[in-house]
């Protein structure tokens, strides 16, 4: 039996909490409610034979993507993952990094902030985004009619056609991160967010001074049912060669190109892993769902809904179904293939060997 397909935050959280066994659980209540009541971020800690080696699996950095991450966490726990892993190393699972987006089925948080663009140094001038500025007005329509999706996509393709030398101009323009359009897409925010502060606290408490391999589960980029382990690492570093051995051809490095993702500013796991004393291996495990145009269309409509729409409307229910389908398709065959990938990415023996190499003296 696999964990059931969940589409409500409360059910996904309960499914996770009821599988924790003897883990040390901690919860961080979010100041705002979800549609079904209180929401929060939960951590579960299983101390292993080596407490100085920690495998982290986190879900919901991008809210709605957390249904997939939560499924992966639950399915691994059902396969006795924590007990097998703790024979070698410790395990930290983080459920719903961005509980607000998770509960409201949004990719962003309560302030329309993309947490994976929020881990920049706010004491410094924030990155400019001239390419996003070109499309900002297109992706923030005031009205939504049956013609809007087609018109938005046409305008986006016209903008892209002005940059014929760069086939990924549009994806980069939209998703690299921007700090000047608070109602726009992939907005990095004006300051560290609630989840940012909680994650820094969790990192200090559980990961400081330890050797860390971190898998942050994401969705909606790439071929349906496949996945990339996306890292941003110096290709000459030891941690990168450990990651290569651990994840093989699934690995892609934003520092050297070849990833489905474009380079981004202020990503969470790479910033937090980079703050640790020892070289860590940290990846966004990115599962493919729907076509990129459908994912972008869903994000634009969801953003319109939260700015101009009404919560109790037929439109609300329809857009939320669209968001869930774009970020967590209800398809048993898809779930089976992403679980297979999760098993191989977090394989206990391969991870134990990776920790051995990460922590061996040069
Ligand atoms: Zn994501």
- pLDDT tens digits for range 330-350: 999 999 999 999 999 999 999
pLDDT at residue 361 above 80? no
Among candidates 358, 184, 187, which has minimal Cα distance to 281?
A: 358
Quickly count: other Cβ atoms within 10 Å of residue 307's Cβ. 12
- The larger pLDDT score, comparing residue 262 to residue 71, is at 71
Q: Measured in angstroms, how far is the CA atom of residue 108 from the centroid of ligand 1?
A: 10
Q: Measured in angstroms, how far is the CA atom of residue 125 from the centroid of ligand 1?
A: 25
Give me the phi and psi of 315, to 5 degrees please. -60, -40
Q: Where are the alpha helices (DSSP H) in 18-80?
A: 66-78
Residues surrounding ion ligand 1 at CB below 5 Å: 62, 65, 218
Is there a contact between 250 and 329 (Cβ–Cβ < 8 Å)?
Answer: no
Q: Measured in angstroms, how far is the CA atom of residue 62 from the centroid of ligand 1?
A: 5
pTM of the model as a whole:
0.97
Q: Measured in angstroms, how far is the CA atom of residue 197 from the centroid of ligand 1?
A: 19
Q: Measured in angstroms, how far is the CA atom of residue 210 from the centroid of ligand 1?
A: 26
pLDDT at 362: 65
- Cα distances from 145 to residues 84, 149, 151, 294, 309, in angstroms, run 53, 8, 10, 17, 12
Is there a contact between 59 and 41 (Cβ–Cβ < 8 Å)?
Answer: no
| pLDDT tens-digit map of 7-61 | 999 999 999 999 999 999 999 999 999 999 999 999 999 999 999 999 999 999 9
Strand 251-253: give its sheet, edge to edge.
24-29, 40-46, 90-95, 53-58, 211-224, 281-288, 227-231, 251-253
Task: State the Cα–Cα distance between residues 285 and 73, nearest whole angstrom.
Answer: 13
- From first CA to last CA, the distance across the chain in angstroms is 45
Q: Measured in angstroms, how far is the CA atom of residue 172 from the centroid of ligand 1?
A: 15
């Amino acid at each position: 039996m696999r964990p059931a397909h969940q589409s409500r935050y409360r059910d996904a959280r309960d499914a996770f909490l009821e599988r924790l066994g003897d883990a040390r659980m901690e919860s961080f209540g979010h100041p705002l409610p979800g549609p079904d009541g209180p929401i929060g971020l939960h951590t579960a800690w299983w101390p292993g034979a080596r407490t100085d080696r920690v495998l982290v699996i986190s879900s919901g950095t991008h809210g709605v993507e957390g249904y997939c991450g939560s499924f992966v966490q639950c399915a691994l726990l059902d396969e006795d993952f924590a007990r097998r892993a703790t024979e070698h190393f410790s395990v930290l699972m983080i459920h719903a990094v961005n509980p607000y987006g998770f509960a409201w089925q949004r990719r962003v948080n309560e302030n329309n902030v993309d947490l994976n663009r929020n881990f920049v140094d706010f004491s410094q001038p924030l990155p400019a985004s001239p390419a996003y500025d070109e499309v900002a007005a297109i992706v923030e329509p005031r009205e939504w009619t049956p013609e809007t999706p087609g018109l938005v996509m046409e305008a986006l393709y016209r903008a892209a056609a002005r940059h014929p030398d760069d086939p990924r101009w549009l994806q980069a323009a939209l998703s690299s991160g921007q700090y000047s359009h608070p109602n726009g897409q992939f907005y990095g925010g004006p300051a560290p967010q609630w989840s940012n502060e909680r994650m820094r606290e969790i990192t200090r408490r559980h990961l400081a001074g330890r050797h860390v391999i971190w898998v942050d589960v994401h969705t909606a980029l790439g071929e349906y049912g496949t996945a990339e382990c996306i890292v941003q690492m110096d290709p000459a570093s030891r941690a990168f060669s450990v990651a290569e051995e651990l994840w093989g051809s699934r690995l892609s490095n934003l520092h050297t190109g070849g990833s489905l993702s474009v380079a981004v500013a202020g990503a969470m796991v790479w910033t937090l892993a980079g703050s640790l004393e020892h070289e860590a291996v940290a990846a966004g495990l990115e599962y493919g769902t729907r076509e990129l145009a459908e994912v972008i269309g869903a994000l634009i409509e969801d953003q319109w809904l939260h700015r101009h729409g009404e919560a109790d409307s037929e439109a609300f229910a329809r857009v939320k179904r669209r968001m869930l389908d774009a970020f967590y398709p209800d398809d048993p065959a898809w779930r089976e293939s992403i679980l297979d990938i999760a098993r191989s990415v977090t394989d206990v023996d391969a991870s134990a060997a990776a920790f051995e190499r990460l922590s061996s003296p040069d």
